[in-house]
Amino acid sequence: MRIALFTETFLPKIDGIVTRLCHTIENLQRSGDQVILFSPNGGIEEYKGAEIYGVNGIPLPLYPELKLAIPTPIVFKKLEIFKPDLIHVVNPAFLGLGGIYFAKSKNIPLIASYHTHLPQYLKHYGLGSLEGLLWKLLKLAHNQAQLNLCTSTAMVKELENNGIERVNLWQRGVDTEMFRPSLASQQMRSYLSEGNPDDSLLLYVGRVSSEKQIDKIKSVLEAIPNTRLAIVGNGPHREALKAHFSGTKTNFVGYLQGLELASAFASADAFIFPSRTETLGLVLLESMAAGCPVIAANSGGIPDIVTDKVNGYLFDPDDPNGAIIATKHLLENTAEKEQLQKNARKEAERWGWPMATNQLRNYYKSVINQKS
């Protein structure tokens, strides 16, 4: 198959969407498919044998890491030359609309996928009044596709409840060879804890932005003595959070990648994740694969990954003491923590990227066959 992917975010940016796309491209190419990807320009021209065509864009004011890229005539010329069997638009926004337009105008099968719960994000940026309008725009874009994919059962229901049609589940995946418990390191633990490896160490990995509600972790640090937090990642809320966490034992680490990131997961006592806007939360699965117990908000797509008191802890995001109680319980019960670690790793081992990509290929074939 010849697959044209449109995405509003790709390398060098690092997040769950980019992780999924990288593994998807690698496995599609390995299966003999040919992929071309259109994204905001990040200086990358090739990935695992796939051509990456960067479209110039401007940073979004509220989130400078993301770029607004408008499709140009050369994008359509590239598509004419590539002759895709199918177009897959990831989080259709501005650049993605070009993919939708080309697919509809040339009668090419179209799939769209939903990875970022944008309507929920709006209120964190003071734009909650626009939620209804955004759902209308999302409905208009997604309903052009023959199939819409979500990464959790909660998001399948959410899209269907908001009038989006032909929705199905694109299963999760994780690299269990990279993320593994054996990478636990006293040196990494000392680095994350700023030279205090004997303290309890909580870890957050992900975008440092307001919708992730990282600020909620402060109450956990204040309630549990000798507890430290390492925040791995970056984003527009970093400076505000530095001020918010002033006086606590919090280390803003910045980005870690590859084996360093895997070692960070394996070296912490718990991964804490208060976000209630997740469509899935691949970072949770990476933590579980590394044997780091998860404490997460019982919201969005997270319950698809975490089973409370089996392979992690879920807390009610509306309960101000929920995360505190769950964290205390985990840190104080060593035997239970060890069982959670084993169960978490076992769960992660069920979800390899080749299997997730094979499922996607079957969706592709099904949509292509609908045309013939």
In this predicted model, what pLDDT tens digit does every residue of 102-116 receive, in sequence order? 999 999 999 999 987
pLDDT at 340: 94
Neighbour count for residue 272 (Cβ, 10 Å): 27
Q: For residue 62, what pLDDT band results from cuts at 50, 70 and 90?
A: low
Reported as a single tens digit per residue, the pLDDT across 230-256 is 999 999 999 999 999 999 999 999 999
Give mean pLDDT, residues 92-96: 89
Q: What is the pLDDT of residue 130?
A: 65
Query: What pLDDT sits at residue 310?
Result: 95
Residues 181-348: name the CATH superfamily.
Glycogen Phosphorylase B; (3.40.50.2000)
Q: How far apart are CA 320 and CA 323, in angstroms?
A: 7
How high is the pLDDT of residue 258? 93
- Helix H or strand E encompassing 34: strand 34-40
Provide the pLDDT for residue 39: 96
Query: Quick one: pLDDT band at residue 319, thresholds 50, 70, 90?
Result: very high
**DSSP state, 215?**
G
pTM: 0.87
CA terminus-to-terminus distance, the chain: 14
pLDDT at residue 127 greater than cutoff 80? no
151 by DSSP, 3-state: which? coil
Please give the pLDDT value at position 281.
Answer: 84
What confidence tier does 121 reach under pLDDT thresholds 50, 70, 90?
Answer: low
Mean pLDDT of the chain: 93
Span(s) in the chain for CATH 3.40.50.2000 = 2-173+352-371, 181-348
- What counts of helices (H) and strands (E) characterise the chain? 14, 16
Asked if pLDDT for residue 63 goes beyond 90, the answer is no
Question: Is pLDDT at 168 greater than 70 in this prediction?
Answer: yes
Average pLDDT score over residue span 55-83: 87
From the list 31, 28, 32, 35, the residue with the least C-alpha distance to 53 is 35
Q: How confident is the model at residue 135 (pLDDT cuts 50, 70, 90)?
A: confident
Tell me the β-bridge partners of 22.
none
Q: What is the mean pLDDT of residues 149-166?
A: 94
Close Cβ partners of 137 (under 8 Å, ≥ 6 residues apart): none
Alpha-carbon torsion 348, 190, 320, 119, what sign? negative
CA distances from 106 to 5, 33, 65, 113, 139 (A): 16, 21, 33, 20, 21
The answer to whether the CB of 251 falls within 8 A of the CB of 229 is yes
Mean pLDDT of 310-320: 95
pLDDT computed for residue 57 by the predictor: 87
| Selected residue with higher pLDDT from 163 and 116 | 163
Per-residue pLDDT tens for 183-202?
Answer: 999 999 999 999 999 999 99
Q: What is the pLDDT of residue 67?
A: 82
Report the CATH architecture of 2-173+352-371. Answer: 3-Layer(aba) Sandwich (3.40)
